[in-house]
Amino acid sequence: HVQLWNAETPNLYQVTVSLKDNTGKNVHSITERFGFRTVEIRKRDGVYVNGNKIVLKGTNRHTFYPESGRTTSKALSILDAQLMKEMNMNAVRMSHYPPEKHFLEVCDSLGLYVLDEVTGWQNRYDTEAGRKLVRETVIRDVNHPSVIWWDNGNEGGWNRELDGDFAPLDPQKRIVFHPWERY
């Protein structure tokens, strides 16, 4: 009787994983929130979440605030996401770089579909640097139900050599998308 996650009903569950030493003493614990959902792209038809066709209505987002520059907080992430929801948006593209973790947590809880982007500022990453960034991004963001696909690149270009690096780290095998490319 799992309640599915989507932008309209962002149902979340919580898991705590603990690492114990040989004596049974808790050495480290981590608690994560996650949701259950499916994402499917049907050729010449559209995007489906949990079997229901959706229309993505959203914006690009840069991590920036006038008073603090690129230094933000969870409170600012909440303000950004609430503003998007108030404008009847359901999606956000992370423009040019992966988002901070607190922004994804807010998108999970408020219900925004995320296009998680790995790319250079205006040019593609070279393969060596890109592989490291893809790995760190996917490992960190893989359990967020708000992330519906990975963006490899932007209007400045993409590195096709990185496309195959996402799937081995992502049990969901999300689509790798090249923004601005016509498929």
Digit-coded pLDDT (tens) for 120-151 = 667 778 899 889 999 999 999 999 999 999 99
Digit-coded pLDDT (tens) for 57-106 = 999 888 878 888 888 899 999 999 999 999 999 999 988 778 889 999 99
Q: Is the pLDDT of residue 110 over 80?
A: yes
Stronger pLDDT, 68 or 19, i.e. the higher one = 19
pLDDT value for 54: 97
**DSSP secondary structure code for residue 169 in this structure:** G
Predicted TM-score (pTM) of this structure: 0.90
Alpha-carbon torsion (142, 146, 152, 156), positive or negative: negative
pLDDT value for 146: 97
Q: Is the pLDDT of residue 181 over 80?
A: no
For the chain, the first-to-last Cα distance in angstroms comes to 37
Maximum Cα–Cα distance for the chain, whole Å?
A: 57
42, 67, 87, 93 from 141: Cα distances, Å = 24, 27, 26, 14
**DSSP secondary structure code for residue 161 in this structure:** G
pLDDT value for 86: 96
Residues 13, 10: Cα–Cα separation, whole Å: 10
**DSSP secondary structure code for residue 71 in this structure:** -
